[in-house]
Structure 1
Amino acid sequence: MDRQSRGKSICVCIFLPFSVKAFEIEITPEYNVAAQIGDTLELTCSTIGCESPSFSWRSQLDKPLDGSVNSKESRSILSMDPVGFGNDNEYLCSAFCDHVKKEKSIKVDVYSFPSDPVIEISTPLNVGEKANITCMVPKVYPFERLKMQLEKDGSVLGMKEFYHEEHTKTTETKCLTLTFIPTFEDIGKAITCVAELLIDEMEFEPKKRQTSQRLSVNYGPRNTTVSVTPSTTVKEGGAVTMTCTSYGNPAPKMFWTKHLISGVSQFLSENATLTINSVKAEDLGLYECEGVNQFGREKKTVDLIVQGQVTNLLHSMTLYDMQYYMTFFVTLS
């Protein structure tokens, strides 16, 4: 180093290239949005490349916004809470940076399909009797795009569309009603109401809703049977159990009676099972089980034969009683 360069500093400057982001605007959701009436929707307008932008919102044809605006720094939010028919509109967000203006728009389409269908049955279902089954879809819009159908175990009973009805900006409850005559084969089957809001140009879920309900069909006692253990012929002093079974809805109550010699029926029990622990000769005869509910009654009889000494019984009988029992034994033989 020479003497002239001593005590001097050398400065080397390096210039690095940098880029300034251009002023741009974006809006979210990015595409047209479907909003359900009664829900909350936020449209967000934001910018890049500007430190302190200013924002403004307006709707198509300068209709009221039907919402509130909150702008802070590089973002502005238009809130719709709740969404109403006035929000079925195209919205334009404008952002200003110095003397530069940027704009972006978004379309909001409103609909209403808030809950599953409701099934109502006019009266309790009784076998062979007419009843109305109604499927209702509450608060639907636009209802002219609604399709409804009633199904029974997958088979379509009826269908209805509303495209022919005049369009109005209101939510409505729409119904499909069918007359139904239940049979024994319908017991336990499922009735299903299916509703579809057919709007292909709008993106929302669900577009299909359904409700199912098991059919409870009332009917009188049927297929009544009596089983006897050990058998209908029992030795004197032994035990016998008679069990009555009957099917119905609601479940039948069971009653046991015995036909007396005099022709009168003697009430014995309200249980399905009748047990005689120590059979006597006078226990022989005709027993009757009856199943009863409010939709009917059905009877089943059984003859009980007692094997053993009947001398004492015969001694106590009148001539009429003997004739009756002789007739009974002859009938059984």
Structure 2
Amino acid sequence: MQLINNVTFNYRYSNISLVIFNQCSFKIILLPKDPLLRLGERQQLVCSVQDCPVKPTLFWSSLEDRPLSALSSSNQTHSVLTLDPVGREHEGSLLCSVTCGAERRQMTTSVRVYSFPSAPVISGQDQLKLGVESALTCQVPDLYPTAHLNLSWFRGDTILMSGTSGPVEYKFTPQKQDSGGSITCRATLEIEKLPAQNTTRETTVLLNVLSPPTNTSLSVSPGEEVVEGQKVTFTCSSDGAPAPKLLVKRGEKVVRVHEDGSPLTFSIRSATLEDSASYLCEASNKHGSQAVSSVVTVRGQFAPISAKPLVSAERGSALTLTCRASGCRHSLTLLWRKMDRNQTVLQRTQQQDAQSELRLQELDLQDQGGYSCEAECDSVTRTTDIHVQVYSFPSDPVLEDPGPVLLGQKATFHCNVTNVFTDHQLRVRWLRRNQALMSETFSFSGSLAVTFSLKLVINSNSFLFFFADPPRMMSLSMNPGEEVLEGQRVTFTCRADGAPPPTLVIKRNGEELHVNSSTSTSLLTFDISSVGLEDSAQYECEAFNQYGNQSEVELVSNFVILPSSVVQEGQNVTVCCQTVSYPPSAVTLKKMTNGTVLSSSNGTFLLVNVTASDSGLYQVNVTNDLGYQIKVFSISVRGQLAGQTSGKWLTLCIYPTSALLLEYVRRSRKKGFYQLPQSAPPSTCG
């Protein structure tokens, strides 16, 4: 027996038999194994190959009678099929075909899709009528597949009915006790291997049983017969759904209207003979109406009390309020109240002369407002109101200095009037050179210091002010561009306008590089005479003066070091690849036109006595256990110039990024420790 090129030959003396077999059998892995995908999402299927000694070929296809509407991408060992978004057309069997050398294999998977985007929707709960058979409908919009849907109706923990697919209708006759209760529709999508959190959703709604107004009532307190001057309170109420609109009429005139669903209550503080009438409480909604009435009779008593209704006085002065009552045959009680939230009692007297005085000393703002004088004779009460106005205007207005204002922008001027108060209107006029700019009228109720504002757009003809402007119209540019050759000269230019001219600063990674020495110019430049890799950074221009600052313009510069691409025939070329990575990387140089591959332990490759055949694209590949990076460059070999000798060395350097090292450090920090990867021995089959 002899092994030659992975083929085993068995020799026998009597006869010869040839047995050929593959030493290694490759495997196909499809992930996920049993795909269940949600409609509308972006999902990926991965077909990978293991133990294939050569570069395999992978291909996706559909076993259904329709084209495969998905995007596939492959690398050396696996192919990714992207469904973006997942649609119903992706449901069915998919086939991944793999060719490894001369051998071809296939693997199928069955894709299932579903959609359960929202909770069930219940309709009809706002159309329930008392005593009339009604129906509630439950359905789940955009659900798929509907054949696996189960819908159930619940009241509390009691199941009312169930159905499949949907919509499911529940019929019943609403009663009054059903109003305000709740009902639940629960939807369950019964699909194998569907995550539990995506299986069941439910919706609960409150039942609103509609009915016309009922139990309408009108109550009168203290009763339907009252004495002149007594307080009379009316309360109108009714039940119904929706809540009925309530109104109270006196004769044919509407006295009060109420639409918020609560009882309507109003009072007559002191009944008069004219308040004797028939009062009607009417309740109505779109399903009906109901009304009740009550007749109120007012009997006469003593004459009304008298007082001056409006009194004005200056702040700090004294004021005496007087009210009189007549016609009471018995002892008369006079009561003064402040008409505030608490109806504070200020003074109570019991006398025969039917006159009472309330003295207010050193009037102030809190003394302003309404006062009431109540006269009570037996059980009859009469009331009159007095309104006290307090005013104050002790000094002239003060115009504030506006300070510097900005040219072309709005400026606000303030006029202050202190310790002023009046319930009357106060007029303010703005004047410039006896010309009226603006006139306003104000009313006040509680402020003792008032500021009036005037806004103007300032131009060169308006006022003699110092004009100022914060930094604006900033720009930061770089010449020749954001990608330059090593050793080139780079110039940064920072510009900004402002008044006064702003100070300009150029920073690199937050550290100050250069500041303009004079603020008379709005331009700042900074040069790097010979740029290097260490100059790749974030550059920022900042401008500021005493009226503001701006530093929004940023420039991220990545200086790329490019090798020379033109060499002379006969020269010796050194290609060096410098990288920072851990674990250490293996470096290869590949000629793209003929596939020639060179390896190097230190990243240096020698091309001796180059000729025109060495022209073309070259690929440098840097690889370690964490991944790889590729850099492609070109070499153009020109004919040797007359009189030029060969053998001259030229060095080209390639600088890949250090992402491999950074990724390794990132992983180690994330875990809290790291372990150097061990190189696995090459796999063999036998």
TM-score range, shorter chain: 0.5 to 0.7
CA offset at residue 198 of structure 1? 1.7
Matches within 5 A, 1:1-333: 25-29=28-32, 31-47=33-49, 52-60=55-63, 64-99=67-102, 104-121=107-124, 124-161=127-164, 174-200=166-192, 202=194, 206-230=198-222, 232-258=224-250, 265-271=251-257, 272-281=264-273, 283-284=275-276, 287-302=279-294, 304=296, 306=298, 308=300
Post-superposition, which runs of at least 4 consecutive aligned residues in structure 1 deviate over 6 A?
none
User: Which residue type is aligned with residue 212 of structure 1?
Assistant: T
For residues 52 and 205 of structure 1, do their structure 2 counterparts lie closer, same or farther at Cα, with a shift above 3 Å needed?
farther
For residues 253 and 63 of structure 1, do their structure 2 counterparts lie closer, same or farther at Cα, with a shift above 3 Å needed?
closer
Whether the aligned pair in 1 keeps the contact of 2:227 and 2:301 (CA below 8 Å) is no
For residues 280 and 85 of structure 1, do their structure 2 counterparts lie closer, same or farther at Cα, with a shift above 3 Å needed?
closer
CA distance in 1, matches of 2:273, 2:88: 87
CA distance in 2, matches of 1:307, 1:196: 72
Paired residues, number: 272
CA distance in 2, matches of 1:43, 1:126: 54
Q: Percent identity?
A: 33
Structure 2: give runs of 5+ residues left out of the alignment.
1-23, 258-263, 303-686
CA distance in 2, matches of 1:129, 1:242: 35
CA offset at residue 293 of structure 1? 2.0
CA offset at residue 176 of structure 1? 1.4
CA distance in 1, matches of 2:292, 2:157: 38
CA distance in 2, matches of 1:100, 1:74: 15
Whether the aligned pair in 2 keeps the contact of 1:256 and 1:274 (CA below 8 Å) is no
CA distance in 1, matches of 2:105, 2:195: 27
CA distance in 1, matches of 2:245, 2:66: 70
For residues 289 and 113 of structure 1, do their structure 2 counterparts lie closer, same or farther at Cα, with a shift above 3 Å needed?
same
Whether the aligned pair in 1 keeps the contact of 2:35 and 2:111 (CA below 8 Å) is yes
Report Cα offsets for 1:202-259 as digits up to 9, x if no partner.
557522222333233322223334444455553222221212222323332223245x
CA offset at residue 84 of structure 1? 4.0
| Larger CA deviation: 115-124 vs 181-190 | 115-124
Whether the aligned pair in 1 keeps the contact of 2:138 and 2:185 (CA below 8 Å) is yes
CA distance in 2, matches of 1:89, 1:256: 71
Whether the aligned pair in 1 keeps the contact of 2:125 and 2:208 (CA below 8 Å) is no
CA distance in 1, matches of 2:246, 2:64: 77
Whether the aligned pair in 1 keeps the contact of 2:54 and 2:101 (CA below 8 Å) is no
TM-score in terms of structure 1 length:
0.66
CA distance in 1, matches of 2:28, 2:196: 26
CA distance in 1, matches of 2:206, 2:212: 19
CA offset at residue 193 of structure 1? 2.3
Whether the aligned pair in 1 keeps the contact of 2:64 and 2:92 (CA below 8 Å) is no
Structure 1: give runs of 5+ residues left out of the alignment.
1-20, 163-173, 259-264, 311-333
CA offset at residue 32 of structure 1? 0.4
CA offset at residue 44 of structure 1? 1.1
Whether the aligned pair in 1 keeps the contact of 2:126 and 2:208 (CA below 8 Å) is no
For residues 122 and 309 of structure 1, do their structure 2 counterparts lie closer, same or farther at Cα, with a shift above 3 Å needed?
closer
Whether the aligned pair in 2 keeps the contact of 1:197 and 1:208 (CA below 8 Å) is yes
CA offset at residue 67 of structure 1? 2.7
For residues 270 and 253 of structure 1, do their structure 2 counterparts lie closer, same or farther at Cα, with a shift above 3 Å needed?
farther
TM-score in terms of structure 2 length:
0.35
Whether the aligned pair in 2 keeps the contact of 1:51 and 1:74 (CA below 8 Å) is no
CA distance in 2, matches of 1:110, 1:154: 32
User: Which residue type is aligned with residue 43 of structure 1?
Assistant: L
CA distance in 1, matches of 2:273, 2:66: 99
Q: In structure 2, the residue corresponding to 1:270 is in which secondary structure?
A: strand
Whether the aligned pair in 1 keeps the contact of 2:115 and 2:143 (CA below 8 Å) is yes
CA distance in 2, matches of 1:289, 1:195: 48
Hey, which of these two has a bigger chunk of helix by percent? 1
Report Cα offsets for 1:135-161 as digits up to 9, x if no partner.
223344433322112334554343213
CA distance in 1, matches of 2:96, 2:147: 32
CA offset at residue 34 of structure 1? 0.9
Q: In structure 1, the residue corresponding to 2:198 is in which secondary structure?
A: coil
CA offset at residue 42 of structure 1? 1.2
| Larger CA deviation: 65-74 vs 79-88 | 79-88
CA distance in 2, matches of 1:200, 1:208: 13
